[in-house]
A and B are shown apart, each in its own frame.
Chain A
């Protein structure tokens, strides 16, 4: 064939880019984006309602807004919206194509199965991170808008932007870790939403678990990175917070470990649509 196909690393990089581009297109420009949009509209709707109906007395005092957003972010955006958005996006990377009976086209290309898994994961991560980071950023801005000039000056201030960057960073890390988990789940079980719900239950229980069990959750590390501490309620068991650098390292390690498992699993992947 003409055109001088690349080989080795340059080829793998190109293949990952091709696969990722395709996944981003499917996830954000196709039908798959509808449930993600619905999820994203929920916090935006809440922020909009808050902006409309915030009592006049509170508009002059944006101090509480930082705490309010921190709680919305932790309990709703992170634990619910980002969790389900990544679940919806990542389980479809393989399982969705098995159900559509089109996965074999990828397996008929001269692509190492590991490269296929990484390419799809990168595509899913870009899609999830774009959608969720935009949702988080817009929700955050909408929280400060009702406070008028005070709010805008906080948004534009170094502290405000630092807070926003931290929330966006946590969201991207959440997409990376949950995404790797759901990619793996989609490769192992026919209905990955069952393990997703079980894991959600585990994540919800995390505040009430002793420290050594908290370490087995993802939200524990994400929570450690939040710029504003959030109360976990009167029944939560307190644990030593994880240092920021260690939390990031742990989340990156979890993501890479789960991705490595998923890549290993794809090596044994077979096309048996009739039983999938």
Chain B
């Protein structure tokens, strides 16, 4: 088992006769990985399996070399922010974190100072002494996140961590996730807001009906969807000239001038041949190109192509 990746091998989980996840095999390297899928697709089951809250019916899981059935080792490495919105009765933000840190083996004084430090990091310094039961949805989300990161884990598993946060809070949290990922940690984030997943992660795992339908870097996943022509938006000063020449190429199936006439949207079935030939067209016609960007190399498009028709539009 690799000690550098999260390895999930042929894992299935059944709840009686109900399928949770089915024969999932993925390797998750360090960095930010988005877990995408419609409601009920198996995202939370997958995360529970990673963290040992559920046991696989079959298959094996290793988180940096540790199996999830050894919590005493696993949770030195892993922090998990679940979707559950309930907390121990009577706990304040501070006592909740102190208790968590005490279970990590910290003495009372160290646990206290670390808890205050983390409360500060998630902007709950003033609310730390109040009961969590009285917190807003966004504050509860923050305290869950604080509980997940308080022991400085190498792996963070975050189930819909941005739910309930205001736009400012979302931006702060996304920055925090990116920072943690830049530090070499594994950060696995599920979200049903595709725009956010696009902002957060370079890699995605798309899950539907309990099965992984695609995984890897978004661009690579997009490249493998050959049934859907690649879309490229070229913003330039003479889009008509580019459209006319590009449409002569046999693999270009559509060339459409965009509404404000500042660019042309090209669709091609052969990305490898397309880009050199587009370069030649630009040189030949002498147009001035402002930008040239793939228009559907994002989570939203990939999700639409793979799941959108049947996924229930999560």
Proximity string of chain A (225-257) to chain B, C-beta cutoff 8 Å, 1 when within and 0 when not: 000000000000000000000000000000000
Question: What residue of chain A has the Cβ atom nearest to residue B79's Cβ?
Answer: A108
With CB as the reference atom, state the residue of chain A lying closest to B99.
Answer: A22
Check if A110 sits within 8 Å of B84, measured CB to CB. Answer: no
Specify which chain B residues have a CB less than 8 angstroms from the CB of A100 in the assembled complex.
Answer: 86, 88-89
Stretch at the interface among B50-58, B200-208, B265-273, B305-313: B50-58
Contacts of B86 in A (CB 8 A): 100-102
B window 31-84: CB within 8 A of A: 48, 51-55, 69, 71-76, 79-80, 82, 84
Task: Give the shortest distance, in Å, between A215 (CB) and chain B (any CB).
Answer: 37
- Interface: A3 (CB within 8 A): yes
How many interface contacts (CB-CB < 8 Å) are there between A and B?
Answer: 101
A45 to chain B, nearest CB (A): 29
For chain A, residues 2 to 29, give those with C-beta under 8 angstroms from any C-beta of chain B.
Answer: 2-7, 11, 14-15, 18-19, 22, 26
**Complex interface: chain A residues within 8 A of B69 (CB):** 267
Contacts of B107 in A (CB 8 A): 3
B102 at the interface (CB under 8 A from A): yes
Asked if B110 contacts A2 (CB within 8 A), the reply is yes
* Cβ-based interface call for B194 (8 A): no
- Render A16-53 as a binary contact track against B, CB cut-off 8 A, 1 for contact: 00110010001000110000000000000000000000
Question: Which of A75-83, A128-136, A147-155, A268-276 makes up part of the contact surface?
Answer: A268-276
Given the complex of chains A and B, what is the CA–CA distance between A275 and B114 in angstroms? Answer: 36
Contact of A1 among B74, B80, B104 (CB under 8 A): B104
Neighbouring A residues of B90 by C-beta, 8 Å: 26, 30
Task: State whether A110 touches B76 (Cβ < 8 A).
Answer: yes
Closest to B84 in A: A101
B203 to chain A, nearest CB (A): 24
In the complex formed, the residue of A with least CB distance to B75 is A110
Q: Are B80 and A110 in contact (CB under 8 A)?
A: no
> Which B residues touch A7, using CB under 8 A?
105
Which chain A positions have C-beta within 8 A of B80? 108
Q: Does A113 contact B (CB under 8 A)?
A: yes
Q: If the complex has contacts A5-B105, A107-B53, A270-B53, are A113 and B84 also in contact, measured as CB distance less than 8 A?
A: no
Give the residue among A6, A271, A275 with the most B Cβ atoms within 10 A: A271
Residues of B within 8 A of A30 (CB): 89-90
Closest CB in chain A relative to B73 CB, distance in Å: 7
**Interface presence of A104 (CB below 8 A):** yes
B89 A26 Cβ-Cβ under 8 A? yes
Q: How far is the CA of A171 from the CA of B85 in the complex (A)?
A: 39
Closest to B96 in A: A105
Q: How far is the CA of A241 from the CA of B73 in the complex (A)?
A: 49
> Residue of A at shortest CB range from B13?
A270
Report Cα–Cα, A268/B80, bound state, in Å. 19
> How long is the Cα–Cα vector from A7 to B106 in the complex, in angstroms?
11
Q: Is the CB of A105 within 8 A of B102?
A: no
B183 CB → nearest A CB, Å? 14
Which residues of A80-115 are within 8 A (CB) of B?
97, 100-102, 104-113, 115
Partner of B48 from the list A31, A267, A271 (CB cut-off 8 Å) is: A271
By size class, the interface of chain A is 35 or more
Closest to A31 in B: B89
- Are A18 and B55 interface neighbours, CB within 8 A? no
- Contact between A5 and B51 (Cβ–Cβ < 8 Å)? no
Rounded to whole Å, the gap between the CB of A269 and the closest CB of chain B is 9
Q: Are B104 and A5 in contact (CB-based, < 8 A)?
A: yes
* A-side contacts of B55, CB under 8 Å: 268, 270
B-chain residues with CB within 8 Å of residue A115 when the two chains form the complex: 72
CA distance A53 to B275 in the complex (A): 102
**CA A267 to CA B177, docked complex, whole Å:** 32
Q: CA separation between A112 and B107, bound complex, in Å? A: 19
B-side contacts of A15, CB under 8 Å: 103, 105
Contact in complex: A3, B111 (CB < 8 Å): yes
The smallest beta-carbon distance between A205 and chain B, in angstroms, is 36
A121 smallest CB distance to B (angstroms):
16
Contact (Cβ within 8 A) B104 A272: no
Rounded to whole angstroms, the CA-CA distance of A14 and B101 in the bound complex is 12
CA gap between A101 and B73 in the complex, in Å:
24
**Which one, A105, A108, A267, A272, contacts B87 given CB within 8 A?**
A105
B103 touches A3 (CB 8 A): no
Q: In the complex, what residue of chain A is closest to B48 when comparing beta carbons?
A: A271
How far is B151's CA from A272's CA once the two chains are assembled, in angstroms? 25
**A102 to B86, alpha carbons, bound, how many Å?**
6
A3, A18, A111, A113: the one within 8 Å of B110 (CB):
A3
Instruction: Pick 19 A–B contacts, CB within 8 A, sort by A.
Output: A3-B106, A3-B111, A15-B103, A22-B99, A102-B84, A104-B84, A105-B87, A108-B71, A108-B147, A110-B72, A110-B75, A110-B76, A111-B103, A112-B71, A113-B71, A115-B72, A270-B53, A272-B54, A273-B84
- Report A's interface with B, CB cutoff 8 A: 1-7, 11, 14-15, 18-19, 22, 26, 30-31, 97, 100-102, 104-113, 115, 267-268, 270-273, 275
B residues with CB within 8 A of A? 15, 48, 51-55, 69, 71-76, 79-80, 82, 84, 86-90, 99-100, 102-107, 110-111, 114, 147, 151-152
The 7 closest A-B pairs by CB, nearest first: A5-B105, A3-B110, A110-B75, A109-B103, A101-B86, A271-B53, A3-B106
